[in-house]
Amino acid sequence: MASERDHRRMLRDAYKAERKRDEWSLLGIDREQLDDLLDHVEEQLAVTGCDHTLRHSRAWAGSRSVAWSELEAGLPAAGGGCDCEVLANVDPDEKV
């Protein structure tokens, strides 16, 4: 039988999983798409650098038929106010 402590831990894990889902739904893309986005942004930044906008992220969304309106709001909320911040702060491994 699960102890009271195990039960509390279970509730806490469920809560954390819930929060994680919220972050993802905020972005409107799944884990695979985020990996793809970060790859694209990294490649483009290596070529042109960051102009302190989300233009590379936006170009990615356009080329992948991803709704830019959701990403445009979701990325800054996840710490990515421009392309280099997306690369620095929107880390999929921190959300697992």
CA separation, residue 69 to residues 66, 82, 91 (Å): 9, 15, 20
Cβ atoms of 39 and 93 closer than 8 Å: no
Cβ atoms of 66 and 60 closer than 8 Å: yes
Residues in 14-73 that interact with Zn ion by CB under 5 A: 50, 52
> Which residue among 82, 86, 87, 90 contacts Zn ion (CB under 5 A)?
82
The residue among 10 and 73 lying less far from Zn ion, judged by its C-beta, is 73
Distance of CA 20 to the CA centre of its chain: 10
The residue among 9 and 52 lying less far from Zn ion, judged by its C-beta, is 52
Longest dimension (CA), the chain: 59
Q: Is 87 in the site for Zn ion (CB under 5 A)?
A: no
Q: Is 84 in the site for Zn ion (CB under 5 A)?
A: yes
Write down the least CB distance from residue 16 to Zn ion, Å: 30
Residues in contact with Zn ion by CB under 5 A are 50, 52, 82, 84
